[in-house]
Structure 1
Amino acid sequence: MSRLERLFHAITFEVLAVSLSIIGLATFTDHNVSHLSGTMIVIATIAMIWNIIFNWVFDKFVPGKKEKRSLMTRVNHVILFEAGLLFVTVPVMAYILNVSLWEALIMDVGVTIFITIYAFVFNYAYDHIRAWIIERRAPSLA
């Protein structure tokens, strides 16, 4: 995957993730949507940077066609990504929303559970759609 495609992947992933996360947090907390929006934009920016770095490193350790990755590889990918991100985002969320670390952890775990499922579905679909597009463009290269 080129750097430009990695950037496209990360931005697409984050725009959808932020929108859906704001809706979820607004539904389950008493926080103002504008505060949640700002918080999730900061978290998404951190996540986007982490996404690019983490996926570059992960691809070095797990080479090959992404659409051929096993279910266990995909599960490990999501768990490692989210665990690393959670470490940074809990204090950020606590600070921005002016809540305790415990409250931020609970909210962030809720978002993380959602994002973990979302990431699995998004990346599975992205990899297969990408492979299909590449195959249609140049069947001999797929």
Structure 2
Amino acid sequence: MLPPKTLSERVLHALAFEIIAVLLCAPLLAWAMGQPVWHMGALAAAISLVAMLWNVLYNSLFERLERRRGWVRTPRVRAVHAAGFEFGLVLWVVPLAAWWLSVSLWEALLLDIGLLLFFLPYTYVFNLAYDKLRAAWWARRAAGYKGA
């Protein structure tokens, strides 16, 4: 069994997730919205900051629930995890995007739905890869201690 994640590991996880996301999203948003890359890049960075804070809080709460209930990260649990994260993020991002772009909440919601279509599979794949890399790191670390 893997040890619980520390706060510093949670921060590293969130930073990696968001940096990759901003690098992918800023140019796509600029193209889709017909806005300058710097303008959409700044919005992507602001959304990223909100998402990082939400990521740390949400994952902490989800993993606590996961341990309490004895859940295993099956594809179904991973899908629930990703969907729950994205739903909560919508509640934060839509008002921010509406204000930033001077559009209605409805238009911002439509934009966010587009982002959601990207982020649901991205969240799933990123966390699956992270968990596999983390498990491999701990396995190598345990093997190194046995050999010493």
- On whether the aligned pair clears a TM of 0.5, the verdict is yes
Aligned to 2:45: 41
Deviations 1:27-50 (A, max 9, x none): 222111111011111111110000
Q: Which runs of 5+ in 1 are unaligned?
A: none
Q: Which runs of 5+ in 2 are unaligned?
A: none
Structure 2 CA distance, aligned partners of 1:117 and 1:72?
13
Indicate the structure whose relative CO is greater, using CA pairs within 8 Å and at least 6 residues apart: 1
The two structures have a TM-score, normalised by structure 1, of 0.91
Q: Match for 1:85: what amino acid?
A: L
Structure 2 CA distance, aligned partners of 1:92 and 1:3?
27
Q: How many pairs does the alignment contain?
A: 138
Aligned to 2:54: 50
Q: Match for 1:41: what amino acid?
A: A
Contact 2:27 2:41 (C-alpha < 8 Å) held by counterparts = no
Structure 1 CA distance, aligned partners of 2:27 and 2:79?
25
Aligned to 2:132: 128
Q: CA deviation at 1:99?
A: 1.5
Q: 1:97 aligns with which of 72, 79, 101?
A: 101
Q: 1:31 aligns with which of 20, 31, 35?
A: 35
Q: Does 2:24 correspond to 1:7?
A: no
Q: CA deviation at 1:23?
A: 2.1
Seq. identity, %: 38
Contact 1:94 1:104 (C-alpha < 8 Å) held by counterparts = yes
Contact 1:94 1:101 (C-alpha < 8 Å) held by counterparts = yes
Q: Which structure has the larger Rg? A: 2
Structure 2 CA distance, aligned partners of 1:4 and 1:124?
19
Name which of structure 1's ranges 27-36 and 49-58 shifts more when overlaid on structure 2.
Answer: 27-36
Contact 1:74 1:120 (C-alpha < 8 Å) held by counterparts = yes
